[in-house]
């Protein structure tokens, strides 16, 4: 989700937007994550409305992520795909 979201953002702004997105997926539970998503939308929707819309459209896929403990979630969101489509660890 984060990588896809950053496709809508100019390179110079990506670090700042990514930091705000990180507050969403590193939230301790679902409720703070929803609050952080709302805060993200309040800050960035004027410039990048497609990011908030994308997160809202895919929120049902994000919700199960919060069922895992923080240690497991870190492994999940740190996974990347190699150019050959095989998941690998960073």
Segment 52-85, tens digit of pLDDT: 999 999 999 988 888 888 888 878 766 655 454 5
pLDDT at 87 over 60: no
Give me Rg for the CA atoms of the chain: 13
pLDDT of residue 2: 86
Measured between alpha carbons, how far apart are the two ends of the chain, in Å? 17
The reported pTM is 0.79
> What share of the chain has pLDDT > 70, as a percent?
84
CB atoms within 10 A of CB 24: 20
Bridge partners of residue 80, in order along the sequence: 88
pLDDT of residue 88: 46
């Amino acid at each position: 989700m984060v990588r896809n979201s950053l496709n809508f953002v100019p390179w110079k702004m990506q670090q700042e937007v990514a930091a705000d997105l990180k507050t969403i997926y590193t939230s301790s539970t679902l409720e703070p994550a929803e609050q952080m998503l709302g805060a993200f939308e309040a800050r960035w929707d004027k410039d990048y409305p497609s990011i908030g819309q994308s997160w809202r459209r895919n929120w049902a896929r994000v919700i199960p992520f919060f069922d895992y403990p923080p240690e497991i979630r870190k492994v999940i969101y740190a996974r990347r795909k190699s150019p050959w489509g095989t998941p690998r660890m960073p």
